[in-house]
Structure 1
Amino acid sequence: MDHVIKTLTPAARPSEAAETTAPSTLVRPSRAEAEAAVRVLIGYLGDDPDREGLLDTPRRVVSAYEELFGGYHENPADVLDRTFSEIGTYDDIVLVRDIPFNSHCEHHMMPFVGKAHVGYLPVERVVGLSKIARLIDIFARRLQTQERLSSQIVTEIDTVLKPRGVAVMLEAEHSCMSMRGVQKVGSRTITTQFTGVFRDDPKEQFRFVSLVRNGIG
């Protein structure tokens, strides 16, 4: 099994916002226009959009896309808006690993599927564990690259929670690489990004990776 490992440097907050927020001048096509576009695509592929089996396909495709790309209509900051301070003296790593996600490559609009591992070192407050999974879903349900998805998760947690450090690792298989092109089934891409203590202290990076891989640090 092949692996591609990429380590990212933190991105500035303004550029992240620019990449994830639709321009104010963008005019969203109507549902009818979207369904018509699907009909055109079916015809381009060489089939008849008016044959019985395909008559309702444009409606189904648009409905599916509304679900698959629902992250465009949710605000990630809202997911992390409620935190908890009753953590006693706890100040060590909080790690949620093996969070499944699915997204779509922005280059071919083909799925990539994998799992995320997210850790942070809290300062007085923590966020509900399910909120981290929800945050990943919001960003994943947009046209993406795995590198940018990693960066967006890190940046949002770092900005809202202001912890001593954030660590993120994503592992995914990209169908645009396994089903087309080089057609290398089983190849996985691994991306990591660190802020704060995790970025500055190699021992903390190693501990995060050890917890992800072995459950011990």
Structure 2
Amino acid sequence: MDRARVEAAVRELLLGIGEDPDRPELERTPFRVADAYAEFFAGIGTDAVAIARDGTVHAEDGDRGQLVIVRDVRFRSVCEHHLLPFTGVAHMAYAPGDRLIGLGTLSRVLDAVASRPQLQERLGEQVTATIAEGLGADGVLVVLDAQHQCVTTRGERQSASTTVTVAASGTLAEAAGRAEAIALIGAGDGTRATPTVAPGHEAGA
């Protein structure tokens, strides 16, 4: 990232909205924003498929299980339309082929792909494709439930609304496999709502 350009752009933005970037309270704001953007966009240029592939191990037939689900993985990203954050939880499921992936690696893949200017719909599709390619899974399903600041803090200011997207591939894109995975994601302590998506309306359908 070109920090000097980011800092200069933030200074220009402050001037553009009628502020004085040289007043004491704002003089370090360009530096702080550059720091934040370095974190928010650290995934640009990162090979997320390599992260997934490096986190896999060979599994014998009896060790694989039929379905692996990791629920409630917190993530944050930045909407590319308004450069405002969206935050939420991801539920990731995969049907193993001949390899298993470290459970922590799934969150690292999600973070790498989320740390770019994003759309939630595309984020789910990219995480699904990354896990499928890096792991060689028979099927992958990713459910994202997120709150967007471009919705909660501007326009109609729907402060309680969230957006749910579903992306799937392979056996988990088939109706039966998808339904089973989504039902298991919604199971647990009895307080989690089961995501419901009409056939043909999930992301990528």
TM-score interval w.r.t. the shorter chain? Answer: 0.7 to 0.9
Asked if residue 189 in structure 1 is aligned to residue 163 in structure 2, the reply is yes
**2-side partners of 1:33 and 1:110: how far apart?**
19
Structure 1 gap segments, 5+ residues each: 1-27
Does the CA contact (< 8 Å) of 1:35 and 1:58 recur in 2? Answer: yes
Pairwise CA RMSD: 1.5
Question: What is aligned with 2:49?
Answer: 77
Q: Using the TM superposition, give the Cα deviation of residue 194 of structure 1 relative to its aligned residue in structure 2, in angstroms.
A: 1.4
Q: Is the 8 A contact 1:94 1:120 kept in 2?
A: yes
Q: 2:74 aligns with which of 74, 82, 100?
A: 100
2:181 is aligned with what amino acid? F
Question: Is residue 97 of structure 2 the alignment partner of residue 130 of structure 1?
Answer: no
Q: Which residue of 2 aligns with 1:10?
A: none
3-state SS of the aligned residue for 1:80?
helix
Aligned to 2:172: 198
Question: Following the alignment from structure 2 to structure 1, what is the Cα–Cα distance between the partners of residues 22 and 49?
Answer: 44
Any idea what the Cα deviations from partners look like across 1:163-198, whole Å, max 9, x if unmatched? 111111000011101100111011111000111111
Among residues 152, 168, 184, which one is paired with 1:211 in the alignment?
A: 184
Which secondary structure does the structure 1 equivalent of 2:165 belong to? strand
Instruction: Give the superposition deviation at 1:91.
Output: 3.4
Higher relative contact order (CA 8 A, sep 6+): 1
Q: State the shift of 1:54 in Å.
A: 0.9
Match for 1:205: what amino acid? R
Unaligned runs of 5+ residues in structure 2 are 190-205
Matching residue of 1:177: 151
Give the Cα–Cα distance (whole angstroms) in 1 for the partners of residues 85 and 148 of structure 2: 6
Query: Residue 205 of structure 1: CA displacement?
Result: 1.5
Q: Match for 2:78: what amino acid?
A: H
Q: For residues 164 and 122 of structure 1, what CA distance do their matches in structure 2 show?
A: 6
* CA contact 2:124–2:165 (8 Å) conserved in 1: yes
Aligned pair 1:57/2:29, yes or no? yes
What amino acid maps onto 2:166 in structure 1? T
Q: Matched residues in 2 for 1:33 and 1:163: separation?
A: 41
State which drifts further: 80-89 or 155-164: 80-89
- Deviation track 1:145-172 (CA, whole Å, cap 9, x = no partner) reads 0000000001111112221111110000
In the alignment, residue 163 of structure 2 is paired with which amino acid?
T
Counterpart mapping for 1:7-18 below 5 A: none
Percent of aligned pairs with the same residue? 38
- 2:128·2:142 contact (CA, 8 Å) conserved in 1? yes
**Shift of residue 119, structure 1, vs aligned partner:** 0.5
Tell me the equivalent position of 2:199. none
- Tell me how far apart the structure 1 counterparts of residues 116 and 21 of structure 2 sit (CA, whole Å): 27
| Equivalent-residue separation in structure 2 for 1:109 and 1:122 (angstroms) | 36
Pairwise mapping of residues 16-55 of structure 1 onto structure 2 (< 5 A)?
30-55=2-27
Which amino acid is the alignment partner of residue 37 of structure 1? A
Q: Counterpart of 1:119 in structure 2: which amino acid?
A: A
Q: 30-39 or 107-116, which moves further after superposition?
A: 30-39
Which SS does the other structure have where 1:50 is aligned? coil
